[in-house]
Every structure is written in structure tokens, then in C-alpha cells.
Chains A and B, each alone.
Chain A
């Protein structure tokens, strides 16, 4: 706490003013708006101060405060403009819905994420990677499979999803199949591009060592391809989630995030819809962050990850 104390105090004060203005926003006097104005100013000040800090907590606090500010503005505007609940519920209602439906949200998350997304993602990325290797090895396959891959990636999900339901039934397997189809191609393209990433000098060096195809692949080309492969992994983590949720609009058992979103939207329970969206967003961000962490661990040597001091 050398000079960090002041901005923590300002941050807390800002939050205090936020709650103050929120508690009586429904009554149309000037008070909530004055406190709201103060809250915004304090928030921005605190954020600016935190942004200058360089401890870990400081760096986390700034985006956190910004997120809170956005949520609070949303809350205030929904109340102040009296936006109908079915058009946009306030964040407080969404938080309440999350709390009240924890059991359901957990079942949906299991069905959609732990079954369909994880299985589809693993199979899709694995298949994309192996296909890329096969294409890299054989020009014949390259000419045959590349257009096919293009074709698969261009198929609209709303066309595929009902067909997959016919083939694999209503369960999560059909959703996993959609995810596979969505994730294969980005992985294939990125891996292929990655395998061409090595320089002529390294290749000549490998030749000098009398390394064969597989050795060259293992020691040189795959490591060089890692940044692009991770690119695809990150891209696919969000694609897979979107694919599974949208696929669930077309025939499901009575659980799953996509099922929940489509049915509760029709029942005008928009708070539950947003609660599910929040879970999906959180799951997507966490998987993305997880892959990014693995990437840092695997490709620490890559120039893009070295910081200025060359550590």
C-alpha cells in the first residue's frame, strides 16, 4: 500500500454512489442523477488511477471496474427509460435468475458444454489436425480433400443441425456432430499454414543432420506451427460453443443451453435467457483463457510472446 490506498478508496466510494443512485432511481427526483453523476466521475477516476498502477491487483481492478460500470449503466438506463422487461431485463434481474435457477443452469451446462462441446471440439480439432498432416504428406489428398473441407465449412449450421438430428438422434451426439463439422476446417487450414512456417535455413540444417520427414516434422515443423495451431484452438473454442447452442434449436431433449434459450425466450422469461447467455459467455471466456495459458506454456520461445526485456 505505498500509494495505492487512494485509488482503492475512490473505487469503493464510486461503488457506494452506484448503489446509492440505484436504490431510488424509480423515484424521479434529481438525487439519483446527482449521485449517478458523482459515481461515474469517481469510477472513471479510479479506473484511470488503477490503469497507472502496475501491481497485479491494480491491473485486474481497472477492467473489473469498467465491467461494473457498464452493468450499472445498463441497470440505471433500463429503470430510468422504463424499458419493458421482455425487451431487456436489468442485470439485477438476471443475477437473481442465475441464483434461482442454479440447478437448471448446471444441468444445461452439463448437457451442452461438458457433453456436446467438449466431445465435438476434441474430435473436430483432432480430425482437422490429422487431416492437415495427411494432406501435407500427400499431394493427392491435398487436391481431393481441400475442396471438400471448403464445402463442409461453407454449409450453414441451420441446414446441418436438423440432418444431424436425423442421423444421430435428439441427444447431445447430434450436437457434437455439428460442432465437429464446424471446427474441422479452421483447424485444417491453420495447421496447414503452420506447417509451412519454418524457414529455409532451418530446413537446410535438418537436411544436414540427415533428418527424415518425421523427425523434421517433430523437431522443426510442428513447433513452428504451434502459434497457428493455437490460433485455431482458440477460434474453435468459441465456434464450438456457438455451434452446440444453435444446433440445440433443432430438436433436443428438454435440457441444454440452446433448448433453454429458445423455450424461455418464447415463454417471455428473458431473465432466464440472459442467465443462460451469461453462463455461455463465462464458459467461452474461461475456455479461451485456458487455451491461451497452455499456449503461453508451449510457445514461450516464440518472438510474439517475448517481452521487451527478452525474458
Chain B
């Protein structure tokens, strides 16, 4: 009985404390961020900013929504399910051409992490050897860089007798382990290490980085809808979001072990492993770039657009996009 009374008193005290704190908590501006993929090292900066209270310090109440194979961030954005989404530029531009007014406000990864990883025993030494081979490609918006690369090489990917046979690979590395494909798509920070963890030796693999082949397109960037940018209050909110996110990324870079801990704690599915995430966090740090966190460099943007326009057979976009990115939010945050 006594215990119960004690508990009730404690609960009442807690309630009072909450009531005190409530006005402060309510004032924080809500903001929902939709990730492009599941919770993992690729997004470590946002999780660190959330866990370390950087968002709170900017008076933001941020909700991070993990993505997955069946979640198209642009569609979530168009449907009003998020304020900011992370997407790759090719799929964002394709969506924009379909009439969704999606705009890049920050380019978080200045370097591309996409690569084709091949088995050495398939006989592939250079990209010209792809002819007649079976290549695994991710779809769901990630196929655009590949298609424009093949167009550049002059190889057809569909029809009755394509030069390269394309497989829509799942999000695992089995096709290469089982020799179902000569090459598969990997990310420098993720699937390549899955291959190594599955027992392949780096000497057995040959890697073609899109960045090195000069066919790279911009990957993880932050996107919002145009109407959001027409509202100064919302632009200010987004600027605060960028500021706190940069803090998170900087912190993750300099405290990688702690960042991995934060990630593992945020992983509701409980599928992340410490080793793999440690690698991912350190590899992702290399993609951020040194030219001002999140600043979209016009040259990179133009290269991406040219890359996408060059695909003759299956045009990703058919005309040069207008107003597909803005520096306004970045300037407000960091200038």
C-alpha cells in the first residue's frame, strides 16, 4: 500500500514536472525527414544531431523516418508525408520532370559512392569488357547513373539481343557470390564490405567507381517542395535544420566510435552490426567533401544533368531542368 502511494506521488510529481516543461517543448518547430534507405551509417549525421540535441538546440523537433526498398522518398514528399527527403539527384530530377516541384536545398554527399564491383575471374579488366556480360543493377531510381554510363559506352541494355544483360538485383550481394552476375552494383560504404565480410578477397574483385569513370551523378542530397521555399518562416526553419545537421555530421566524423553507438541505439530493427557500421561511417565521411558541408557545386550539378541528358535510348530527363536547386537555404544557414 505504502509503495503504491509512493508511486502515485512520484507519478504526480513527474506529471507536474512535465507540465512545467511542456510549453518549452511545444514551441519547437516540427520537421520530418524521410531517409532514402533504412537506418544505417549512410545517415549517421542526422541521427547524431538528433541524439546529441543539436536539433533541439536549434528549436527543432525532428522526426527521422527510415526508408526501405518499397519507399520512394519523392512520393512521400509529394504526398505530404515529410518536409525534407534525402534522394539522389537523378531520381529527383526525373520526378521533377513528372511535375512534382522538388528542389535541392543542400548536397550532403559531394562525391559519389556508387561503383560496379566485378569478379576478376569473369575476365573483366576494363569497362569495354562489359559487353556480353550479365550485370546486376539496382532499380528504384538508382538505375539512372548505370543507364547513362552504358549509353556513354554505346552498349544497349534492352531489346532482344542487348550488349549487356541487366539483372534487377535485390539489395544484397548474393548474385556475385553465386556467379549469377559478372558484376553487381555496390556502394563504397556498404555492399563492397558485405562482399568482403562474406569472405571474398579484395584481390578477387575489380571495382569501377562511377566517380573515377567520370560518370558519377550526385547522390544523397536534401530536397523539399517549392511551396515550402516560398514561405520565409519555413526557409528559416530549414536553415536551422541544415545548421544542426552539419553539426551532427561534423561530430560523427570526429567521434566515429560514438556515432556508431548512436546508430546502433537508433536501429529499431536491431539488424545493424558494429563492424559493418564502423566501416560505413568512416567511408561515408569521405563522401562529404571539403567545399563547405552541403553546398551544391554548380559544376557537379551541370555534370549530373549532362550525364542524364546524354542517355539517348531511355532518357532519364528530356530537357534541362529549371530551378531544380537553390542556395538560398544554405546561404541563410552558413553565410
A residues adjacent to B (C-beta < 8 A) = 84-87, 162, 165-166, 169-170, 249-254, 259, 262-263, 265-269
Contacts and interface: CB of A to CB of B under 8 A. Distances in A.
A229 to B, nearest CB: 36
A263 B140 contact: yes
Contacts of B166: 253-254
Given A262-B140, A268-B75, A254 B168 contact: yes
A293 to B, nearest CB: 36
B94 A166 contact: no
A162 B141 CA distance: 20
- Secondary structure call for the A interface: loop
Q: Which 3 A-B pairs have the closest CB atoms?
A: A266-B140, A268-B98, A263-B139
Nearest to A167: B178
28 contacts: A86-B75, A86-B78, A86-B95, A87-B79, A162-B172, A165-B174, A170-B168, A170-B175, A249-B70, A251-B167, A251-B170, A252-B167, A252-B168, A253-B166, A253-B168, A259-B139, A262-B168, A263-B140, A263-B143, A263-B168, A265-B72, A265-B75, A266-B140, A266-B141, A267-B91, A268-B94, A268-B95, A269-B98
Contact of A84 (B100, B139, B140, B165): B100
B180 interface: yes
Contacts of A250: 170
Contacts of A169: 180
Contacts of A253: 165-168
B99 A86 contact: yes
B157 interface: yes
B326 interface: no
Contacts of A251: 167-170, 175
Contacts of B140: 262-263, 266
A165 B94 CA distance: 30
A166 B174 contact: yes
A268 B157 contact: no
Nearest to B165: A253
B165 to A, nearest CB: 7
Contacts of B74: 86, 268
A85 B99 CA distance: 8
Contact of A254 (B72, B100, B157, B180): B157
A177 to B, nearest CB: 15
